[in-house]
Amino acid sequence: MGYLASHWRAMEWDPIMLTTGYPTGRKKGYGKLCLARQNQKMSEGISILYPNYDLKTGQLAKNLARWVDSARFAPDRFQLVIGTKKLNKAEFKDVHSLLRRQDIIFEVDEMDNDNAIWNQCAERSMFENMLFVEGHVYPNETFLQKLYETTRVNSGERVINTNTQNTTNSYFERLMDRWFNETIQRRQSSHDFIFLSRWAFLIPKKVFQRYGPLIQNYEQFGPPFLSAVLFKNKVGISTADFTGLTHEMESVIGHHHAATRCYVRGFAKAKKRIHAEGLSELFGKNPDFEKIDSQWRKKRAGTNNSDNAPGSWEILLDIILPKVEIQILEFLVMYFPIPQEIKYRLFQYAHQRVAMDEYRNHLFNRSHEK
């Protein structure tokens, strides 16, 4: 068994029955199940694990309809497993009308993130392959057919990454698309392993049971950490040679910065484990974070010497000034009339400052917990 297998065994759930006669379940510690519908167990096929905790009203049904449509060539070989925030009656009715006998929908806790919902969906999946998708991603009519054919050719313990295209309807979406593409290229050139795409990746269920789950409090760093675990255990990750997925981009820089903070928080929480399990060489060192680590060690050491101890005003400036700087940068990128190339450089710098600020926040909060 893999060294994360103990986490998987701890996540079992108890089946119960509702008055509808359909099998369902209540997850221990994760939130109540509102509905589940499941047919007899089948092995060959793909379960689509779909989390919804931040989609706008009406968007869930619209995206699910696209997944159902893409599966029409062989509907019995696909299962939708949907973990969702509480829906209003009208939206629940719209979603419910799309579901087939093998599909499952259940309500998740308000505090659950993608990792927690994906893990719960994985437990309820019925097929040998599981497609982890992000809630803002939807397929074209032929994507699932191509993916299904690929799984039949590449059977076994191989994980498949997808090629996802971003929407580019606004100037900010085009700016984000450029940044995402450059980030992917940089990762490919600077790392020995392939990062799982948070937008959509396929893992055989037996592989996930062995090396998963996705660690909930690693937030958006969960898939990269699992990528390193798979690589360390010699589980191959290939990238699909076809497209067919669209990622609906956010059009506000604040949403991107919130996601950046999620990633950095997850990385900071996983840092000790990365060192303990020999994954440091895979992720390398971040010069900005190393600098913050060094500065914080000196400040903490200085608290034992009244001559070197930082004053409260100094600590306060360390917290407030970066946030003011970030707000100014966000305004310049979103609203100030400057050339696009300059805006992109400001966006890159703002991203860096957000990452450093969140990492510093983690150290500050951790020091108060001790």
Query: Is the pLDDT reported for residue 120 higher than 70?
Result: yes
Over residues 80-117, the pLDDT tens digits come to 999 999 999 999 999 999 999 999 999 998 778 999 99
Confidence label for 319 from pLDDT (cuts 50, 70 and 90): confident
Q: Token pair for residue 167?
A: 């929407």
- Identify whether 213 is preceded by a cis peptide bond (ω within 30 of 0): yes
Over residues 327-352, the pLDDT tens digits come to 999 999 999 999 999 999 999 999 99
**Per-residue pLDDT at 63:** 95
How large a percentage of the chain has pLDDT more than 90?
57
Query: Is the pLDDT reported for residue 305 higher than 60?
Result: no
**3-state secondary structure (DSSP) of residue 127:** coil
210 or 362: which leads in pLDDT: 210
Pick from 190-199, 201-210, 214-223: least confident: 190-199
Which of 240, 257, 251 is CA-nearest to residue 177?
251
Residues 205, 305: Cα–Cα separation, whole Å: 55
Which of 32, 214, 220, 17 is CA-nearest to residue 108?
32
How far are the Cα atoms of 95, 114, 168, 178 from residue 173, in angstroms, in the given order? Answer: 28, 22, 5, 9
Query: Is the pLDDT reported for residue 4 higher than 80?
Result: no
Averaged pLDDT of the chain: 82
How many residues can be counted in the chain? 370
**Per-residue pLDDT at 20:** 23
Over residues 152-198, the pLDDT tens digits come to 887 666 899 998 999 999 989 999 999 999 998 888 888 888 899 98
Which of 230, 8, 45 is CA-nearest to residue 127?
45
**Per-residue pLDDT at 15:** 26
**Per-residue pLDDT at 362:** 84
Q: Any idea of the CA torsion for 259, 291, 218, 270, to the nearest 10 degrees?
A: 170
**Per-residue pLDDT at 293:** 77
Q: For residues 156 and 204, is the Cβ–Cβ distance under 8 A?
A: yes
Over residues 145-156, the pLDDT tens digits come to 999 999 988 766
Over residues 228-282, the pLDDT tens digits come to 999 999 998 988 989 999 999 888 899 999 999 999 999 999 988 888 787 878 8
**Per-residue pLDDT at 32:** 36
**Per-residue pLDDT at 271:** 87
Query: How many CB atoms lie under 10 A from the CB of residue 163?
Result: 15
**3-state secondary structure (DSSP) of residue 279:** coil
pTM here?
0.82
